[in-house]
Amino acid sequence: MRDFSCFGENGVQIADAASSSSGSVTTSSGKFGQNLVTCVYQCRLRNFSCFIVTLTWTKSLMGQGLSVQIDDSTNHCLCKLEIKPGVFVKRRGFKNLEVGSKFIDVYWDLASAKFGFSPEPVEGFYLAIVVNKDLILMLGDMEKEVKNKIDVSSFTPNFVFVSKKEHVFGKKVYATRAQFCGKGEIHDIVIECDLACTNDPCLLIRVDGKTMMQVKHLRWKFRGNYTILVDGLPVEVYWDVHNWLFGKLTGEANFLFQTCLSAEKMWASQSNMDASWSNSFRRDPQSHGLGFSLVLCAWKNE
């Protein structure tokens, strides 16, 4: 432990964007924190064509929602499929799309999906995407059901989990789970920061119950970075808790966990940690090719 939504000309929209009101925080400045998880996957066909698939899982009083966006290698949005919360009558189904010379099939079954605190299902579901008869993405634990549904030459999709962005909520403890490498262990990540009981708050980050980072004198170190080891891999941790300390009663803090060989290259253009620093969380993660990124937007409840 150490102290220290894009639609191009050929875009296809199947449903309107889902709205969410439950599980959100409204700050005094009018910002909204929505209960959602966004996952980005880089997928390849057998002919080495590359696609970026972005899944956004949402949760509201109406229920769970899902958005599927498929981009080509030039970041051109080919199509977007959305299942609205409350219209999960279509909890299972498929959609065939034709975009130019590409035939895209999306299959899903969420009828028996089980959820934790996150909008992202943990078991009892599947989602499969086929492009030109190639299976490019398959998620969930219902492989047998997928094989009965689709006709492809191989059930070994070639994809990499690139990044995950999640909104988490709490008063002093914020928790999530993450897998930092393709076949690695799923880890419990806990961020703890008690701002109410002290004039000199401390930030703690734990992985699987073990304290990996402790930042004292947080009012002077409200932005920073440090490297921890997870699964034997270096993970660069960046934090920005300025809004917690100097904003309103509720606000958003940003945390980035980045596995990479040379994180310095990614941040070389950042000569100082000014107010625009948190915008770097919104950069296109897959363009760097440096590994997996986990972005946590931590919203403080009143």
How many C-beta atoms lie closer than 10 Å to residue 99's C-beta?
18
One pLDDT digit (tens) per residue for the chain, 302 residues? 544 322 232 322 333 222 333 344 444 334 444 588 999 999 988 878 899 999 999 987 777 889 999 998 888 899 998 877 665 456 788 899 888 888 999 999 988 889 887 889 989 999 999 998 899 999 999 988 888 888 887 778 889 899 999 999 988 999 998 888 766 788 999 999 988 767 888 999 999 999 999 999 999 999 999 999 998 889 999 999 999 988 766 678 999 999 864 434 433 433 333 333 334 333 344 334 448 999 999 998 76
Look up residue 195 and give its amino acid: L
Looking at the DSSP assignment, which residues form a beta bridge with residue 294? Answer: 164, 257
Tokens linked to 156? 């070994």
pLDDT at position 4? 38
Cβ atoms of residues 168 and 294 within 8 Å: no
CA–chain centroid gap for 177, Å, is 11
Q: What is the pTM of this model?
A: 0.77
Number of Cα atoms under 13 Å in the Cβ half of residue 178 = 29
Cβ atoms of residues 186 and 179 within 8 Å: yes
pLDDT at position 89? 52
pLDDT at position 173? 93
What is the torsional sign of CA 170, 190, 298, 245?
positive
pLDDT at position 59? 84
pLDDT at position 37? 94
How many C-beta atoms lie closer than 10 Å to residue 149's C-beta?
16
Burial 30-59 (b: 16+ CB within 10 A, else e): ebebbbbbbbbbbbbbeeeeebbbbbbbbb
pLDDT at position 302? 65
- Domain range list for the chain: 5-161, 171-300
pLDDT at position 34? 59
Compute the chain's Rg from CA coordinates: 20
pLDDT at position 237? 96
How many C-beta atoms lie closer than 10 Å to residue 212's C-beta?
19
Rounded to 5°, angle at Cα 121 from 117 and 125: 155
pLDDT at position 300? 85
pLDDT at position 140? 92
DSSP letter string, the chain: -EE-----TT--B-SPPP---TT-EE-TTS-EE--EEEEEEEEE-TT--EEEEEEEEEEETTEEEEEEEEEETT--EEEEEEE-TT-GGGSEEEEEEEETTEEEEEEEE-TT-EE-SSSSEEES-EEEEEETTEEEEEEES-HHHHHHH---S-S--EEEEEEEEEEEEESSEEEEEEE-STTS-EEEEEEEE--SS-SS--EEEEETTEEEEEE-STTT-SEEEEEEEETTEEEEEEEE-HHHHHS-SS-EEEEEEEE-S-HHHHTTT--S--GGGGGGGGS-GGGT----EEEEEEEEP-
Strands 126-131 and 102-109: antiparallel
Look up residue 167 and give its amino acid: H
